[in-house]
Each structure stands twice: as structure tokens, then as C-alpha cells.
Amino acid sequence: MNNSKTIYDLPDAEISLFNSFFSKEESDSLYISLAENINWQQDQIKFFGKIYDVPRLTALYGNTHKTYKYSGILMQPHPWNEDLLFIKKRIEKEAKVEFSTCLLNYYRTGNDSNSWHQDNEKELGRNPIIASVSFGETRPFQLKHIERNDLKRVDIPLSHGSMLLMKDSTQHFWKHRIPKTKKDIGSRINLTFRIIKNE
């Protein structure tokens, strides 16, 4: 396995990227299997009284008693499947923690996106550790410090089979997003493994 680690030396954040964390063969087969077998759903958000489709498909998996509230909706996870347990085991070895929950995003085209946010829900505890695994098309993961506009935006390309680890104060001080693109690109699946603290 060609597993290269890059540490992003940013103020108020601890971020490392592992390219080819999963081999090409593993990534190709996981991508197809996740696209087919995950219970993808179309979420909606209310914005100034109007209802919109979220610009991507999502799914929540995990230890089933750990509910998760995001975008104001209380979510009950589906139980882990075999693919997710395989991925989870591999990343837990590197991260040295046990994850309870996985939020999946399916970006069908360049028009699908994820707007600026911080993953700082209180169920995640004070300094959440998040492991983010990507398959399919490479999309830039953009980060912006919430206070310091002297710092440049950071763009991290998340490629097929990569794993990004975010720790410590990253979610307090940095926002992130996946921007839309007009380019004609393929689809991408992202999995963010998290630890939910509620009982």
C-alpha cells in the first residue's frame, strides 16, 4: 500500500492527510458497493421559510442508540454494514480511537456540494476527532479560519482512497466546505466517522 502522510501545519488545527490509505483495488470495489448498498436519502432544509433539497444525498450509520442531531433534524443511524465495518476498523488503527457513527455524503455531480460549516455539535464533545474517507472523483476540501482573515484559505484535494484526520481545536477555529464546480466531473462518496457522546 502506498500510504503517504501529509501534516497540515495550520494555527489552531491539527489536520493530517493520508493518500492511498485504501489501495486502488479496495477503493474501486468499496465505491461501487457503497453507491449500491447504502440507504441514500434526500434531506431537505428550511431556509427563510422555504424548503430546499440539500445538494447531495446523505446517510447515517452507526451504533444504533447514538442519535445525532444535525441541521436541526434528529437522526437515527442505520446499523453498520460489512463495508463500513471494514473501513472503520482500518481507520481506527491509525486514529487510535473507536468511532460510534458515520455520516455519508454522495456528491452526484459538480453541482452537488456542502456549504461552509463546522462540525461542532455538542454531541461530539469539546475537541472532536473526525476521520474523513473519500472515494470516487477528487474534490477540494476547503478550510477557512473563522476569525483570522490574514490566513489564506487552504484547499486539500481529497482523492480516491484518501483519509483525512481532523483533531483538537480544528472544528472550533476552521470552517470547511466542498464547493460546487462547473466542470463535468464524476461522482464522489465521502464518509465522516465521528464519536457521539450521548447514551
Ligand X SMILES: O=C(O)CCC(=O)C(=O)O
Closest distance of CB 199 from ligand X, Å: 23
**Which residues inside 118-177 make contact with Fe ion, applying CB under 5 A?**
119
Residues that bind ligand X (CB under 6 A): 103, 105, 114, 119, 132, 141, 158, 176, 178, 190, 192
**For residues 114 and 188, what is the distance between their CA atoms, to the nearest angstrom?**
12
Q: Residue 177 forms beta bridges with which residues? A: 142
| Cβ closest to ligand X, residue 100 vs residue 132 | 132
Cell 452526484 -> residue? 108
| Cβ closest to Fe ion, residue 12 vs residue 119 | 119
Q: How far is CA 150 from CA 13, 36, 143, 169, 175, in A?
A: 16, 44, 14, 19, 15
| Cβ closest to ligand X, residue 27 vs residue 114 | 114
Name every residue whose Cβ is closer than 8 Å to that of residue 153 and which is 6 or more positions away in sequence: 142, 143, 144
Contact 163, 94 (CB under 8 A): yes
Binding-site partner at residue 123 among ligand X, Fe ion, none, CB < 5 to 8 Å by type: none
Binding-site partner at residue 43 among ligand X, Fe ion, none, CB < 5 to 8 Å by type: none
Residue nearest to ligand X (CB): 190
Interface residues toward Fe ion, by CB under 5 A: 119
